[in-house]
Amino acid sequence: MMTSEQYVESLRKMNLQVYFMGEKIDNPVDHPMIRPSMNSVAMTYKLAEMEEYKDLMTATSNLTGKRINRFCHLHQSTEDLKNKVKMQRLLGQKTASCFQRCVGMDAFNAIYSTTFEMDRELGTEYHKRFVKYMEFVQENDLVVDGAMTDPKGDRSLSPSQQPDPDLYVHITEVRPDGIVVRGAKAHQTGAVNSHEHLIMPTIAMKAEDSDYAVSFAVPSDAEGVIMIYGRQSCDTRKMEPGAEIDLGNSEFGGHEALVVFDDVFVPNERVFMCKEYKYAGMMVERFAGYHRQSYGGCKVGVGDVLIGAAALAADYNGVPKATHIKDKLIEMIHLNETLYSCGIACSSEGTQMDAGNYMIDLLLANVCKQNITRLPYEIARLAEDIAGGLMVTMPSEQDLRHPELGPIVKKYLVGATGKDTENRMRILRLIENITLGTAAVGYRTESMHGAGSPQAQRIMIARQGDLEAKKELARAIAKVDVSKDK
């Protein structure tokens, strides 16, 4: 396994094509806007090095028998599934942001079981190839960006019907030694901090879309791969000289990027689906299911930090004993633990796939994510309520540090007697960061759209909910005679 320092150095060696705000970034590793997101990923290595987190952060590989980082693991039991969620909660607590490495882990598990079933039914060798690829990933302890979401263009048209054929990633050429692919994946979490990109289709496909039924892996610096870094609310604060308090969370963050594949060659050993359109939906459903489980861990961890910050804000405001404040904090804990319960429940009810790895309960994972589209918004609302308006009207760090303005800011921003004004400002900025700033990408809007927008879960809930069986239950209790119904 790599240390966190080795991870950062390994990225330095890559020749990534990264663009941000109209400029090519030659050194993403040390870029003030990007570095905090890299620090979050580095925590997935750092915690794995620590004795106290070893059991949660590492696992034994079913492929090699070696100790590996859990983020590279193929889950071997429901215990593994639960440990995954616990690990994600821990990392959310330690970074208060998206630590990005889960998309790869969720892709590994979805592709592993799907390719197994493809090989069994089609006589292909995708699973064999994928096992080799996983051994390479585990051996080198890599960060892999599991990539699913295509830009999608006109949502009423299928991939092959789009006026621009590149709006979904597709195969442009099949050669004896590999394939050439073209297109893009949008809002790719952690793309710039990843060694590899692991691509999956984004929707179920029909025969006419078979060129779009493709899964493959490429190094992040493969020829033809470019990444355009996404903007976040308040992101340029990170570029301000000496900025710290105003960032709310100066050390950690997350990021997304638009990843473009401009006629990229992929050798056969890295191709895991090539036009087998009937299996695209299976891969999508499994990846989405795992990632919907993931949110029952990571968002809960960030929620823990936000609840703590809200409680501290109440202390600094001098109102920790107010009954309505106490009640709001209880409500926040209740909502956060409800999300955790969903993450643990879909893991506990997991089952073994034919490939041998474990899959979460799909219905419960979709219920988990549907709750995630709602409850973090309420938790954020309560945090803002408790914090007070100062979290968005407060003077800047420069004013606090200013020789003449500083004492004025300190005098008028004072809170509870005996409490430090700068500490108060730090906590309010942290709440601002999680609810409205750079971390709000991960905590709010990603709670809505990440791992699929709410409607995607509702479709799955409808499919998995078995309404007919429930009708049967009601008929039996009410002694309904169906022969009397027309």
Inter-axis angle of helices 362-372 and 280-317, to 10 degrees? Answer: 40
Which of positions 209-228 make contact with ligand SF4 (CB under 6 A)? none
Distance CA(172)–CA(355), nearest Å, equals: 31
> How many binding residues for Fe ion (CB under 5 A)?
1
Supply the DSSP symbol for 275: S
Supply the DSSP symbol for 2: -
Distance in Å, CB of 425 to Fe ion, minimum: 30
Distance CA(20)–CA(34), nearest Å, equals: 10
- Residue 102 binding target from ligand SF4, Fe ion, none, CB below 5 to 8 Å by type: ligand SF4
Binding residue (CB under 6 A) for ligand SF4 from 220, 294, 347, 370: 294
252 binds ligand SF4 (CB under 6 A): no
- Residue 294 binding target from ligand SF4, Fe ion, none, CB below 5 to 8 Å by type: ligand SF4
Q: Which of 78, 114, 115, 189 is catalytic?
A: 189
Inter-axis angle of helices 454-464 and 280-317, to 10 degrees? Answer: 120
Binding residue (CB under 6 A) for ligand SF4 from 33, 47, 72, 98: 98
Query: x-or-dash pattern for Fe ion, window 435-464, by CB under 5 A?
Result: ---------------x--------------
**Closest Cα to residue 373, out of 451, 438, 460?**
451
Q: Work out the number of other CB atoms within 10 angstroms of the CB of residue 217.
A: 26
103 binds ligand SF4 (CB under 6 A): yes
Distance CA(87)–CA(66), nearest Å, equals: 19
In the residue annotation, 95 being an active-site residue is answered as no
Binding residue (CB under 6 A) for ligand SF4 from 437, 450, 457, 460: 450
36 binds Fe ion (CB under 5 A): no
Binding residue (CB under 6 A) for ligand SF4 from 7, 45, 71, 99: 99
Q: Considering the complex, state which of residue 146 and residue 415 has its C-beta at the smaller distance from Fe ion.
A: 146
Q: Work out the number of other CB atoms within 10 angstroms of the CB of residue 30.
A: 12
Binding range to ligand SF4, per CB under 6 A, among 291-299, 333-341, 357-365, 462-470: 291-299
- Residue 100 binding target from Fe ion, ligand SF4, none, CB below 5 to 8 Å by type: ligand SF4
376 binds ligand SF4 (CB under 6 A): no
The SS3 assignment for 397 reads helix
146 binds Fe ion (CB under 5 A): no
Query: x-or-dash pattern for ligand SF4, window 297-336, by CB under 6 A?
Result: -x--------------------------------------
107 binds ligand SF4 (CB under 6 A): no
In the residue annotation, 368 being an active-site residue is answered as no
Inter-axis angle of helices 102-122 and 126-140, to 10 degrees? Answer: 150
In the residue annotation, 349 being an active-site residue is answered as no
**Closest Cα to residue 365, out of 82, 108, 99, 87?**
82
In the residue annotation, 342 being an active-site residue is answered as no
Binding range to ligand SF4, per CB under 6 A, among 28-36, 94-102, 366-374, 470-478: 94-102
Binding range to ligand SF4, per CB under 6 A, among 194-202, 228-236, 290-298, 460-468: 290-298
Binding residue (CB under 6 A) for ligand SF4 from 78, 138, 189, 202: 189
The string of DSSP letters for 31-66 reads -TTTHHHHHHHHHHHHHHHSGGGHHHHEEE-TTT--
Q: Which of 291, 340, 373, 384 is catalytic?
A: 291
296 binds ligand SF4 (CB under 6 A): no
Helices (DSSP H) in 396-478: which residue ranges? 397-401, 405-412, 421-435, 440, 446-449, 454-464, 467-478
Q: Answer yes or no: are the C-beta atoms of 431 and 394 closer than 8 Å.
A: no
Who's near 238: CB < 8 A, 6+ residues apart? Answer: 32, 33, 36, 247, 253, 438
Distance in Å, CB of 256 to Fe ion, minimum: 9
Distance CA(11)–CA(30), nearest Å, equals: 11
Distance in Å, CB of 91 to Fe ion, minimum: 13
301 binds Fe ion (CB under 5 A): no
In the residue annotation, 73 being an active-site residue is answered as no
The SS3 assignment for 217 reads strand
Distance CA(160)–CA(215), nearest Å, equals: 17
In the residue annotation, 298 being an active-site residue is answered as yes
Distance CA(197)–CA(340), nearest Å, equals: 29
Q: Considering the complex, state which of residue 105 and residue 171 has its C-beta at the smaller distance from ligand SF4.
A: 105
Q: Work out the number of other CB atoms within 10 angstroms of the CB of residue 407.
A: 11
Q: Answer yes or no: are the C-beta atoms of 211 and 160 closer than 8 Å.
A: yes
Q: Considering the complex, state which of residue 37 and residue 357 has its C-beta at the smaller distance from ligand SF4.
A: 37
**Closest Cα to residue 238, out of 13, 390, 30?**
30
Q: Which of 298, 342, 346, 368 is catalytic?
A: 298
110, two tokens: 């979805």
Distance in Å, CB of 211 to ligand SF4, minimum: 29
Q: Considering the complex, state which of residue 166 and residue 304 has its C-beta at the smaller distance from ligand SF4.
A: 304
Distance in Å, CB of 84 to ligand SF4, minimum: 10
Q: Work out the number of other CB atoms within 10 angstroms of the CB of residue 318.
A: 14
In the residue annotation, 98 being an active-site residue is answered as yes
Question: Counting beta carbons within 10 angstroms of the beta carbon of residue 403, is it exposed (0 to 12), middle (13 to 18) or buried (19 or more)?
Answer: exposed
109 binds ligand SF4 (CB under 6 A): no
Catalytic residue IDs: 98, 102, 189, 256, 291, 295, 298, 446
Contacts to Fe ion by CB under 5 A:
450
Contacts to ligand SF4 by CB under 6 A:
98-100, 102-103, 189, 294-295, 298, 442, 446, 450
